[in-house]
Structure 1
């Protein structure tokens, strides 16, 4: 058993760790992907970004908890916003929420809720601008996600703009927060703040759309569908008829359309990364690894449109290693990054479908 698992199984042992060690152990437990990418960031960014992810994961834990009613979820989300903003009453919040978590919530998330007071203590060690960025993100996410969780999602979202709005609440606002933290860290990066903030929303949506497409059947098993019905109405398929046994060319055509749209958002993610100074290799790697893994996942989905489980389109560890190697070799050159992206993602475009991947939340009715 790893040291990480031992610490997570015994939350009291976490108290002996430094703040960075404490957050690293929690990250390893709740997200191996972010446990891999966040340490690539410069030391002055690592702690804030790690903390931000843990805060967002707490909101996710509340929203995903099957034992909580919609009213309870709304209550705990509202209370958590105030805990993050003020730093007060974190212990009471954790004591109230922890006993309500079911066995479906993974053990690492149970631990995260138990040690929530220390996570909040770390939040309020940051500079005011950083705390504001984190609190703004949590508020947007915690107010927006319950809107969708309260809906009947068996037949999907009504329209593509609804999907845009959902992606903003769960990922686009995280992109904005990261852009703010990057700009606070570097005056050189801050010169592109306006454009970075716009593109960051699209970056977040590209990653979230990739996850939605990968997890179609896992979500369907819970009676949930995040796909937009209007796309499939146009291709002649009703999402209310969706099951893992679905073998329908009209459904696959709709998937292809969404893959093309996600590809457009990931192209904006590339533009975002190219605005970062080439010497900021850590920040570039953080962005490029996420981007590269998303592109490879979309490729697997495009090549296996009849998949019935997320494991069938999950990229291999070798693919992750190849992504890391390729970005390390090309990450400082915008020209090489363009070439790599175009070569890798050329089959993701959908010639018969056009959709403007607007890079600003101004085009989303919040």
Structure 2
């Protein structure tokens, strides 16, 4: 898929697929993790969640595209909100955006952008309540993410609250959307709606913080840092001095603190999962697999604080398989899940530091 002809051939093949097959193939191309976890969901949830992820990935693609100016990104994001809500204008939008994508955007995302009309058509086959949840998430994400395009991020974010806000726009709002979809799916789950909505933001932040910590050095090479300066001010390190060659104990101390904060968010993720009915093993596994892989990633970072490439803290395929196996065996038992979480994450806490994750103040 390196040139126009292979791309055209691939698009023609994809266009022949049924909706669920198409979404599965697109997911596999843009996220192997979600391609693995989303199929665990009940059949009535799968189309909506798969579609939601693809919509969010379209917003991500716009934000990551180096050929677009900040103003263009804001315009495309605003237009996409209306397209998701109304189902109108997808063809012209896709044609314009696809023509502006650079080679830095991966081939699978080129395909996704070309197929926006089909993805939007699938969106509007969903239940109205599901469409509302998806549209609300896209609106929050597409309005929030452009804020950071105007910032100079080489020296990080100013405060932990700024990091909280960023994580909300890129992941917390996705957690809220999933909670709404789960509540719509099951009246039993809906009895915990308020608590699930609060915890879902923390769940999303735990996963996003894990990704940020894993990708510190990949981001640094692009002159970007998503870490909060106030955490590192306490250890005496200035994030403006951060480079891929940084080797500083003060930086590693701040990193340990952030690992502890991410761990606390993931503990909220566990509580969220435990509120789901024990017989809903598909939804529980969807949550637990992501939670388990995040904890193992944080452990690898904690054990190798001097890492300088994301591949050095990427969990192995055998670890992924073990996580899946353990989750399947224990998904129904809240007691076993608590014991495993405490055992696995016990080394992630930072003595002398305390942070209590809260819901996003903008809710």
Distance 1:186 1:361 in 2: 25
Partner deviation per Cα, 1:198-240 (whole Å, 9 max, x = no partner)? 0000000000000000000000111100000111111000001
SS of the aligned residue for 2:143 comes to: helix
Deviation (angstroms), 1:149? 1.8
Correspondence for 1:242:
242
Instruction: Please give the residue correspondences for 1:1-366 in structure 2 after superposition, counting only pairs within 5 Å.
Output: 10-358=10-358, 360-362=359-361
Deviation (angstroms), 1:9? 5.8
Distance 2:202 2:71 in 1: 31
Which 4+ stretches in 1 moved above 3 angstroms? 6-9
Which moved further from structure 2: 265-274 or 243-252?
A: 243-252
Distance 2:9 2:221 in 1: 29
Contact preservation (8 Å) 1:217, 1:244: yes
Give the alignment's Cα RMSD to 1 decimal. 1.2
Distance 1:115 1:104 in 2: 19
Partner deviation per Cα, 1:296-319 (whole Å, 9 max, x = no partner)? 000000000000000000000000
Structure 1 unaligned regions, length at least 5: none
Contact preservation (8 Å) 2:260, 2:349: yes
SS of the aligned residue for 2:140 comes to: helix
Distance 2:329 2:96 in 1: 49
- TM-score normalised over the length of structure 1: 0.97
Partner deviation per Cα, 1:84-104 (whole Å, 9 max, x = no partner)? 000000001001100100000
Deviation (angstroms), 1:352? 1.1
Distance 1:123 1:99 in 2: 23
Contact preservation (8 Å) 1:65, 1:102: yes
Distance 2:337 2:298 in 1: 18
SS of the aligned residue for 1:235 comes to: coil
Change (3 A) 1:36 1:9: farther
Change (3 A) 1:37 1:8: farther
Change (3 A) 1:220 1:9: farther
Partner deviation per Cα, 1:20-43 (whole Å, 9 max, x = no partner)? 000000000000000000000000
Contact preservation (8 Å) 2:7, 2:111: no
Distance 1:189 1:225 in 2: 38
SS of the aligned residue for 1:332 comes to: coil
Deviation (angstroms), 1:244? 1.6
Structure 2 unaligned regions, length at least 5: none
Contact preservation (8 Å) 1:8, 1:25: no
Change (3 A) 1:156 1:88: same
Contact preservation (8 Å) 1:81, 1:138: yes
Change (3 A) 1:9 1:147: farther
Change (3 A) 1:184 1:92: same
Count of aligned pairs between the two proteins: 359
Partner deviation per Cα, 1:311-355 (whole Å, 9 max, x = no partner)? 000000000000001101111000000000001000001121111
Contact preservation (8 Å) 2:29, 2:108: yes
Distance 1:8 1:91 in 2: 16
Contact preservation (8 Å) 1:55, 1:138: yes
SS of the aligned residue for 2:168 comes to: helix
